[in-house]
Amino acid sequence: MAIDVVVPPLGESVTQAILIKWHKADGAQASMDEPLCELETDKANVDIPAPAAGLIRRVKNEGDTVSVGEVIARIDTVGAAASAPGKGGGTPAVSAPAAMPAASALAASAGKLDDLSPATRRIVAENKVDPSTIAGTGRGGRLTKEDVQNSLQRSGNGEGGAPVGAPPQPTPARHEAPASMTTPSPKTAPAQSGAMNYDARGERRVPMSKIRRRIAETLVKAQQTAAILTTFNEVDLQAVMDLRSKFKETFEKTHGVGLGFMSFFAKATVQALKEYPHVNAFIEGENIVYHHHTHLGIAVSTDRGLAVPVLKNAQDLSFARIESEIKRLASAVRDGKLGLEELSGGTFTITNGGVFGSLLSTPILNPPQSAILGMHTIQKRAMVINDKIEIRPMMYLALSYDHRIVDGKEAIGFLVRIKQLLEDPARLMLEV
């Protein structure tokens, strides 16, 4: 029997995607829920899992534009049965006897295989790892792909965790991009970079990706529909840096995650938004929509474009939980595996141009949000403290806001409140 593999609903307003990569060869054996291919939408990349076990018959090719509901492949379940041991006298596919028993055994022993994402389930099955033996760092303690890779690395990528002969699953270094995003090596760059495709005028045209087109549309819409104004301030980060230095090692030992600057800014932002609710509100027609929660977007630049993963209900998250979520989302960005639900619903955004060395900028709103906070590089500057000149680590902050809903007094007050909380971080703990 042939089972159609169709493009599933991809989120609000998303109707098409580009099939950018097949994970399984045509005619290859696939296990149920094993990732078959990767689709690129204008918001995120999505893995499409197999709806059943069987042999893959591709219908669409890499590079094709596909629509929601369209058939991209078919799974021959009869062919899979015929290739099984003891039937038809044929030689079974190498992966057939291993993939399904491994998955079923894991489901029986761990009882939580069904809770894993397709990418995580694949690496668990390939390495015959018991997911119940690995601590999850995802939302609600969910096991992530990075958790499994780190566990395999600690155990020697096959020693004590994976069977002898299993293919190693190296964990990419933090500074490296995923394979689909890495820059070609110097030896291969001339052939892959398209340098030979320049025309007689020295020009080369490359189609914009769906994500880049979406970014362009969003930014132009923001400029055209909102009355954007930016206000600036500066913050002395000496107290934050002293606090990090004092408790960084203890924090990491206690919570299993490093203590970064972003959690301080996130906590300060959440507290300030409580006091200035207009900054966390939307304009919807002739109404103002206020939010009792803070879904905090963290802008992340990738080789494919800008991604803004969202920390849902950031007002309920501790420092450790914020750091853990940022780490998980950053890993998903690097792997190109952000879920659509993790990219939607933000009520306020933080963007950090300082990681690239930006000293000052005017960030653009992320519609329909009414404001965005811009962080910048930390620079030591001579400051007058109690009538004395001292060298302090300073950062310029920028708040772009929609003047239709946020008045200048509120915007300035909001930014001053963030400055106050960061310069005296004890206030963050006491919420005063």
Over 60: is that where the pLDDT of 120 sits? yes
Comparison of pLDDT for 188 and 420, the residue scoring more: 420
Mean of pLDDT values over 334-340: 73
248: CB partners within 8 A, 6+ apart: 258, 259
% residues pLDDT > 70 (the chain): 77
- Would you state the pLDDT for residue 175? 37
Confidence of residue 413 (pLDDT cuts 50, 70, 90): very high
How would residue 420 be classed by pLDDT, with cut points 50, 70 and 90? very high
Residues ≥6 apart with Cβ < 8 Å to 329:
298, 300, 309, 311, 338, 342
pLDDT higher than threshold 70 for residue 189: no
- Lowest mean pLDDT segment, chosen from 24-28, 398-402, 406-410, 412-416: 24-28
Residue 87 confidence (pLDDT): 44
Tens digits of per-residue pLDDT, 123-177?
A: 777 777 777 778 777 656 677 777 777 777 666 544 333 333 333 344 444 333 3
Quickly state the pLDDT bin for 113 (edges 50, 70, 90): low
- In tens, the pLDDT along 212-225 reads 787 788 889 888 88
Stated pTM of the model: 0.63
Q: In this predicted structure, what is the pLDDT of residue 54?
A: 92
What is the DSSP secondary-structure string of 396-429?
EEEEEEETTTS-HHHHHHHHHHHHHHHHSTHHHH
Q: Span 41-63, mean pLDDT?
A: 86
Q: How high is the pLDDT of residue 196?
A: 55
Mean pLDDT of the region 303-331: 87
Q: What separation in angstroms does the CA of 164 have from each of 95, 103, 157, 310?
A: 16, 18, 10, 40
Residue 424's contacts (CB-CB under 8 Å, 6 or more residues apart) are 239
Mean of all residue pLDDT scores within the chain: 79
Instruction: Take residue 28 and report the two structure tokens written for it.
Output: 């290859």
Report, as residue numbers or ranges, the catalytic residues.
403, 407
Q: What is the largest CA-CA distance in the chain?
A: 91
Domains and CATH numbers, the chain: 1-93 (2.40.50.100), 101-169 (no CATH), 211-430 (3.30.559.10)
Residues in the chain: 432
302-330 burial, b at 16+ Cβ within 10 Å, e below that, comes to eebbbbbbbbbebbebebbbbbbbbbbbb
Can you give the pLDDT at residue 118?
64
393/378 Cα distance (integer angstroms): 6
Give the SS3 label for residue 29.
Answer: strand
Average pLDDT over residues 251-276: 94
**Residue 157 φ then ψ, to 5°:** 50, 55
Task: Give residue-wise pLDDT tens across range 236-262.
Answer: 999 999 999 999 999 999 999 999 899
Mean pLDDT of 258-273: 94
Q: What is the pLDDT of residues 359-409, one digit of tens each?
A: 999 999 988 999 999 999 999 999 999 999 999 999 999 999 999 999 999
